[in-house]
Amino acid sequence: MPSSDDRSLDLVLFGATGFTGGLTADYLAAHGPTGLRWGLAGRNREKLEKVRRRLAAADPALAEMELLVADATDATALAEVAARTRVVITTVGPYQQHGEPLVAACAQAGTDYVDLTGEPEFVDRMYVEHHATAEATGARIVHCCGFDSIPHDLGALFTVSELKPTGPVTMRGVVRASGMASGGTFHSAMGAFSRAKQMSAAAKERRAAQPRPSGGRRVRAVAGKPHRDKALGYWLLPLPTIDPQVIVRSAATLAAYGPDFRYSHYAGTKTLRYAVGGMAGMAALLTSAQVPPLRRLLLGRLPQGEGPDEAKRASSWFTVDLVAESEGRSLHTRVSGGDPGYDETAKMLAESALCLILDDNPETAGCVTTAEAMGEALLARLRAAGIAFDVVA
């Protein structure tokens, strides 16, 4: 462990009593370096003690790990948590409802912060409200450190690093996965679908506040259309997730993406039948999110804090294929791993926090992406942890 400042802890995990938070705690207990000073935070001490006992059963050295009692709405308690640690991991969502007080506390204290949100409105509002403070204090506020959006963000960085473009780049990302979405992800998605106007307003505010790319460079996310990709052999469906926004924000600040970068994002299916079914399912979710009784009914079917058993997770997988074209050249890369919604998300979240603590990262501050804040260091960590970044062709 490197020497630290006057903080008594290196890392605090907020939300360890939930399902994904518990998996993140397990990962840190198994893979955290010797000497890592970390603790658990949450609103219920009895539940925190139960998690600590479970971790200590595997590693007795964790029997005395620190427990910090703090509610997600208690600004004073959150400020005390942020002041004691170098980085905070939080799995407490939906973030639009519960996330801002902790972001504010970390920005004010100069404490690094990582989460696994995929909520565009929350991410944009945090930039507008807290980016300047975090820049001034040196805090790195890094959203989207799970399946949203690390495979896509670092996958795009890996692709352009291999391509080394000097001219315009057009890139498409195609996601395929098995397994099930987590309850927290589903609740966050339905909340976002129900707040289209607020989401649009937040995006507009961010565009007005955020500097444009320097040197005349251009970056943009391009909404694609359903079609068959002959190169990949999949039917492609435009995917309305936060991933394209994250990728183009990385491209706006990093010269490796070239002078003109365009990105489109899709889900891929092998047959037209599944593609049509996917479009119908997405339309049904978007419609249901606008009708409160239907929205409540669907949210009740997949509660937060629960997830599949270990056997189910072990059989799950994901791939993200990225195809970049520039000045007559084409490069196909692939990011792949295991269960995307739970095991790999916990791994990515934990490794992001460890990367901020331990590694030689670019000098950044404020609300930044994983590619901006950690880039090659985090990519190397994830490869060592079993997530593949490969050149296909």
pLDDT of amino acid 307: 81
DSSP three-state, residue 12 = strand
Q: Using CB atoms within 10 Å of the CB of residue 181, give its burial: 0 to 12 exposed, 13 to 18 middle, 19+ buried.
A: middle
pLDDT of amino acid 308: 84
pLDDT of amino acid 215: 83
Could you check whether the bond before residue 264 is cis, i.e. omega within 30 degrees of 0? no
CA distance 80 to 322: 42
CA distance 126 to 132: 10
CA distance 279 to 239: 10
How many Cα neighbours within 13 Å face the side chain of 289?
17
pLDDT of amino acid 179: 65
Residue for token pair 């259309």: 225
DSSP-assigned states of every residue in 255-285: GGG-SEEEEEEEEEESSHHHHHHHHHHHHHH
pLDDT of amino acid 29: 97
Do residues 256 and 161 touch, judged by C-beta distance below 8 A? yes
The model's pTM is 0.92
C-alpha angle 209/214/216, rounded to 5°? 115
pLDDT of amino acid 309: 86
* Residue 61 CB neighbours (<10 A): 10
* Residue 294 CB neighbours (<10 A): 15
From first to last of its 393 residues, what are the pLDDT tens digits of the chain? 544 568 999 999 999 999 999 999 999 999 999 999 999 999 999 999 999 999 999 999 999 999 999 999 999 999 999 999 999 999 998 899 999 999 999 999 999 999 999 999 999 999 999 999 999 999 999 999 999 999 999 999 999 999 999 999 999 999 999 865 566 666 656 666 678 889 999 999 999 999 999 888 999 999 989 999 999 999 999 998 999 999 999 999 999 999 999 999 999 998 766 666 666 666 666 666 676 776 676 667 666 667 888 899 999 999 999 999 999 999 999 999 999 989 999 999 999 999 999 999 999 999 999 999 999 999 999 999 999 999 999
- Sign of the alpha-carbon torsion through 6, 346, 147, 288: negative
pLDDT of amino acid 61: 94
* Closest to 119 (Cα-Cα) out of 144, 100, 138, 137: 144
Do residues 289 and 295 touch, judged by C-beta distance below 8 A? yes
Strands 140-142 and 218-221: unpaired
